[in-house]
Chain A
Amino acid sequence: MSESGSYYIPNGSKWPIIASIAVCTAMVGGSTLLNGNNFGKYVLFIGLALIVFMIVGWFNTVISESENGVYDTQVDTSFRWGMIWFIFSEVMFFAAFFGALYYVRAYSLPWLGGEGAGLATNTFLWPEYEANWPSTANGPGEIGGDFQVMGAWGLPAINTAILLTSGVTLTWAHHALKEMKRMQLIIGLGLTVALGILFMYFQGLEYGHAFNDLNLNLGSGIYGSTFFMLTGFHGFHVTIGTIMLIVILGRCIYGHFNPKNHFAFEAVAWYWHFVDVVWLGLFIFVYWI
């Protein structure tokens, strides 16, 4: 509820329409490319470039408005609600993939292997198949051929430690911001960014290992599908989160934010923690058990 006697409403903006055109261009380009027409590549590229242009422009507008003190506390609260519900929508997006993982492990693979309701399925269609998660989880058709499973206690465990640590450094930076300790703030944020990049580097190594040594890829049946979709989308979110952290770091160095007014910082921090929590889910359900 608003407590003051007036409201802030922004001016009209050209960014939304640019955003629509940009995303639409990228999608049309991507679709054309997927349909096997190489020309789509260029359209896709133009679309992506436009998207970057739009994001930079839109955020610049908002940042300069924010720094000029245009926003009141009500706007700040609106932004907060917006970010919270956006993160909730992201949680549900991941829920779809976790749901798929759960479903194949609890139902479809056992059925294919003849358990429960699957007796007839196994006897008549896949008599050779024995379902075992994860070793035979590329299905009765052995789609993608023999593969090896990604163990939990190598790189993934290190990555878990990295992400958990990055949560700590980020919180440390947040406290520093609230206490106006600029040096600590910048070091904390810088460490978080570094850890994010390290995570991505290790994730890259892990993928390389999977492709080259384990014969594990998106096409390795349902195991490969769920593994790469979940870790891939997570990695994508880490990338976005890291970029956002870098922007925030830049703004901190530039002297933006004060102990009272630093919504952007908090939004990015929430996002980062969300990415962190998703990773824990991944570590437990995808790698470990």
Chain B
Amino acid sequence: MSSVVNDTHHEEHPSGIMRWITTTNHKDIGTLYLWFAMIMFFIGGLMALVIRSELFQPGLQFVDPQFFNSMTTMHALVMIFGVVMPAFTGLANWMIPIMIGGPDMALPRMNNWSFWILPFAFSMLLSTLWMDGGAPAGGWTLYPPLSLQTGDAFPFLIFAIHFMGLSSIMGAINVVATILNMRAPGMTLMKMPLFVWTWLITAFLLIAVMPVLAGGVTMLLTDKFFGTSFFNAAGGGDPVMFQHIFWFFGHPEVYILILPSFGVVSAIIPTFARKPLFGYSSMVYATASIAFLSFIVWAHHMFTVGMPLAGEVFFMFATMLIAVPTGVKVFNWVTTMWKGAMTFETPMLFAIGFIIMFTIGGFSGLMLAITPADFQYHDTYFVVAHFHYVLVPGSIFAIMAACYFWLPKWTGNMYPETLGKIHFWLSTFFVNLTFFPMHFVGLAGMPRRIPDYSLQFADYNMIASIGAFGFGFAQLIFLYLIIKTIKGGKKATDQVWEGAEGLEWTLSSPPPYHSFNTPPAIK
């Protein structure tokens, strides 16, 4: 029995909605994840547009300050847990089994559950918008005591986070088990594509830190409902302790949001430069170093909480160190392009945009790491500018690059190239219009998380708001383009891109339901 190729085992191929609900196929599940991320992106983006509308001009125009804070909080939770993480997990589901020459994910039923938690968890989270006391409004960082002032939404928020955490942990376990156990014979670790490597390390980070977040929010829950004093000085606790726990999760989390992007870009740049990736092994080591360092820098988010001097200095140095391995990556990409024979199809454009704008975000990150200067930057729009640069033209651009890169493989159809390019240029223009001015207003003294501001910040906020609407509009093109490509278009070849190398390009476009029924031979 065990040696049977189990396609025969698959007589019951439910159709319609039941296919999607019960599926154990990595491609189906990958597709589900990606569509989920897409929907959440529009929801989270809509919240960002509420924020930007209110900030278009000084004064209170559209929403109550409390609701504004809810929008900020929910926007971040949705974007991070509902968009970037599921999108990367979707890509992992689609690509990792194929890239390593495996048949599917290692634990397909758990894979299904990892996905099907998400719609429920996010329904719980989003339903808080209609509850007494409103949706959570204490920032995505959930700092007590403020977060303990949340109304009826509070337990829903905490349990939704537990639920999402469960989903991410299981997803990550699946990735690790797949990579460690499902590789085709001959696919040694150091032959794996970088996307697989970065995901292996990301999965490790996920398994290490999501439970810590779960522990942290559990303490919030018991502080609110069961009389514990973890974050209450009168009982011997400390509100700052929550921040330590949160950022012990939170900082590795931001690398969870970026490492798979590095993998995507490391796949795309060589393809369109028609030249092998420069410094493969140093890329692997750099990723591992970033992951290691990410565990010892967390308190750079807390420079102003009044830590002892030694702590401030330690966390400053450790944080600055991350620039070194990240730099190695950037230099390797540039050197890969050097003396290649480049063409600039949409995925390549997004990848190049990623490198440039991520580096800009990295630079501002480095500035934030300088403790005395961070006293001025902290909790201003300079920080908002920093993290949107690494997240939007960073993570989101990388996800889009990946979609363009693999869409022909997934659907069997080429996407309309011109439209893709238009999408890229509009996105790039508007993303900078939105987020670059935020550096200036931040330096000039505009705090984050405020619904109204004094007059000297007015001009640049208006520009940022215009940019945000433009950027949002550009994403409608993306949606349209994807639907159009799924429906039809020029047939894609198996290799799709002239310079493409790797197992995924040896399969048909679209690939068969079970990628490799027998393990491929690895050179």
Determine whether A and B are in direct contact in the complex, meaning some CB atoms lie less than 8 angstroms apart: yes
User: Which residues of A are at the interface with B, using a C-beta cutoff of 8 A?
Assistant: 1-17, 19-21, 23-24, 27-28, 30-31, 34-35, 68-72, 74, 77-79, 81-82, 85-86, 88-90, 92-97, 99-100, 103-104, 107-109, 111-112, 116-117, 125, 131, 137-141, 143-144, 217-219, 221-226, 228-229
Q: Are A82 and B308 in contact (CB under 8 A)?
A: no
Q: Are B212 and A93 in contact (CB under 8 A)?
A: yes
A82 CA / B181 CA spacing, docked (Å): 10
Can you spell out 22 A-B residue pairs with CB atoms less than 8 angstroms apart? A2-B182, A2-B185, A3-B185, A6-B517, A7-B5, A7-B517, A12-B12, A12-B18, A14-B22, A16-B113, A24-B123, A27-B160, A27-B162, A31-B155, A79-B107, A86-B173, A89-B211, A100-B230, A100-B241, A224-B228, A225-B219, A228-B228
Residue-wise interface mask of B (211-223) relative to A, using a CB-CB cutoff of 8 A (1 in contact, 0 not):
1101110110010
CB distance from A83 to the nearest CB of B (A): 9
> Counting chain B CB atoms within 10 Å of each CB, which of A15, A34, A68, A219 scores highest?
A34
User: Which residues of B are at the interface with A, using a C-beta cutoff of 8 A?
Assistant: 1-6, 9-10, 12, 14, 18-19, 21-25, 102-104, 106-110, 112-113, 116-117, 119-121, 123-124, 152, 154-156, 159-160, 162-163, 169, 172-174, 176-178, 180-185, 187, 207-212, 214-216, 218-219, 222, 225-230, 232-238, 240-241, 244-245, 248, 306, 308, 514, 516-519
Measured between beta carbons, the chain A residues less than 8 angstroms from B19 are: 12
Q: Are B237 and A104 in contact (CB under 8 A)?
A: yes
Decide: A10 near B227, CB < 8 A? Known: A1-B183, A2-B519: no
Q: Are A225 and B228 in contact (CB under 8 A)?
A: yes
A145 CA / B109 CA spacing, docked (Å): 50
Residue of A nearest to B308 (CB): A117
Q: Are B106 and A78 in contact (CB under 8 A)?
A: yes
Tell me if B's interface is mostly helix, strand, loop or mixed: helix
Q: Are B228 and A218 in contact (CB under 8 A)?
A: yes
Residue of B nearest to A25 (CB): B120
| Extra inter-chain contacts (18) besides given A70-B1, A225-B219, CB under 8 Å | A1-B181, A6-B5, A8-B2, A9-B25, A10-B109, A15-B109, A17-B116, A27-B160, A34-B154, A92-B207, A93-B212, A93-B214, A139-B233, A141-B235, A144-B227, A221-B236, A222-B236, A225-B229
Measured between beta carbons, the chain B residues less than 8 angstroms from A20 are: 113, 116-117, 119-120
Measured between beta carbons, the chain A residues less than 8 angstroms from B162 are: 27
Q: Are B6 and A7 in contact (CB under 8 A)?
A: yes
Q: Are A108 and B238 in contact (CB under 8 A)?
A: yes
Measured between beta carbons, the chain B residues less than 8 angstroms from A103 are: 238, 241, 244
A260 CA / B86 CA spacing, docked (Å): 38
Q: Are A12 and B210 in contact (CB under 8 A)?
A: no
Measured between beta carbons, the chain A residues less than 8 angstroms from B225 are: 34
Q: Are A104 and B236 in contact (CB under 8 A)?
A: yes
Q: Are A92 and B9 in contact (CB under 8 A)?
A: no
- Which 7 interchain pairs have the tightest Cβ spacing? A96-B215, A141-B234, A139-B236, A16-B113, A12-B22, A222-B236, A219-B227
Q: Are A6 and B112 in contact (CB under 8 A)?
A: no
Q: Are A222 and B226 in contact (CB under 8 A)?
A: no
Decide: A92 near B236, CB < 8 A? Known: A81-B176, A103-B241: no
A221 CA / B112 CA spacing, docked (Å): 42
CB distance from A73 to the nearest CB of B (A): 8
CB distance from A167 to the nearest CB of B (A): 23
CB distance from A157 to the nearest CB of B (A): 26
Contact partner, B233, options A3, A28, A140, Cβ 8 Å: A140
A196 CA / B310 CA spacing, docked (Å): 45
CB distance from A126 to the nearest CB of B (A): 8
Q: Are B222 and A218 in contact (CB under 8 A)?
A: yes
Measured between beta carbons, the chain A residues less than 8 angstroms from B113 are: 15-16, 19-20
Measured between beta carbons, the chain B residues less than 8 angstroms from A82 are: 106-107, 110, 173-174, 177
CB distance from B45 to the nearest CB of A (A): 25
A8 CA / B104 CA spacing, docked (Å): 9
CB distance from B107 to the nearest CB of A (A): 6
A97 CA / B109 CA spacing, docked (Å): 31
Decide: A88 near B207, CB < 8 A? Known: A103-B244, A116-B308: yes
Residue of B nearest to A86 (CB): B173
Measured between beta carbons, the chain B residues less than 8 angstroms from A30 are: 155, 159
Q: Are A13 and B176 in contact (CB under 8 A)?
A: no
> Counting chain B CB atoms within 10 Å of each CB, which of A14, A96, A116 scores highest?
A96
> Counting chain B CB atoms within 10 Å of each CB, which of A2, A70, A112, A144 scores highest?
A2
A12 CA / B104 CA spacing, docked (Å): 13
Measured between beta carbons, the chain B residues less than 8 angstroms from A27 are: 124, 156, 159-160, 162-163
